[in-house]
Amino acid sequence: MKAVNVGDAAISKPIVIAAMQDMGNVGGIAIDFINKSMETRTFRFIDVPFPNYVIDQGGYIDYQRERWEYRHGSDGSVIVFGGGAGQPQTNQELYDLCQDVIDVAKKYSAQLIYTLGAFHTTRDYGKSPKALVTATSQELAQHLQNLGFELTPGSSLITGFNGLILGLAKESGLQGIGLYAEISDPEVPQFRSAKSLLVALEKLTYQKFRGMEELDEMAGRVERGES
């Protein structure tokens, strides 16, 4: 992996929202939507020269070099990282990537790191999946609970980028919050779950994401079996 700076960015004490593809692609959908809604601009990217997969588009394949972007909003108060179609393929790449995000967060004196992902459940939530939260300290978790957010239940492993980034944030002295939306089918894109994360993120960050009705429309198309 190679980090490439596109140019100087006017960023000061931002929040960082970082997530990658996971079960139901919840994290990827949410990050891609945030970038679209906020009209973010790229200031740095991670180039991955040797992806180990192709994307089957239903009878024909799409092959692209992987690239994960750091983007910022117009007022410099938000850094958005991730999205895309995959995750690092080795533990070393995963750690290196998470560490790069932490280094960028520290460079701009980030206030908080948020990550977004999926929480596999057997609960019948219909069309209203819940967004659950976890945090890098018990004090922050209690604060979130006091605000009305529901904590993740019990003890479990959170694997991949959307979990490890919180561990490295904690190790580096940064506060972090994980938002994980309920999903029932990990193999199908979960647009309603991604929307539930964005609604929770709006409450926590006071950002406004325009056009979320598009996610309801995409969810309906998936449910109807439309391409």
Rounded Cα–Cα distance for residues 165 and 173 (Å): 12
Rounded Cα–Cα distance for residues 164 and 95 (Å): 8
Q: Are 32 and 83 in contact (CB under 8 A)?
A: yes
pTM: 0.92
> CB neighbours (10 Å) of residue 108?
16
> E strands of 98-175, at which residues?
112-120, 131-135, 150-151
- Cα dist from 114 to 31, 79, 110, 153, 226, whole Å: 11, 10, 11, 19, 32
Rounded average pLDDT per 10-residue block, the chain, 227 residues: 87 96 94 96 87 77 83 94 84 94 97 95 93 97 97 86 96 97 94 97 94 95 84
Rounded Cα–Cα distance for residues 8 and 10 (Å): 7
Give the pLDDT of residue 217: 95
Query: Which H or E run contains 168?
Result: helix 161-171
List of domains in the chain: 2-223 (3.40.50.10900)
Rounded Cα–Cα distance for residues 150 and 165 (Å): 21
Q: Are 131 and 199 in contact (CB under 8 A)?
A: yes
Which two three-digit tokens encode residue 50?
């040797």
Give the pLDDT of residue 88: 86
Give the pLDDT of residue 154: 80
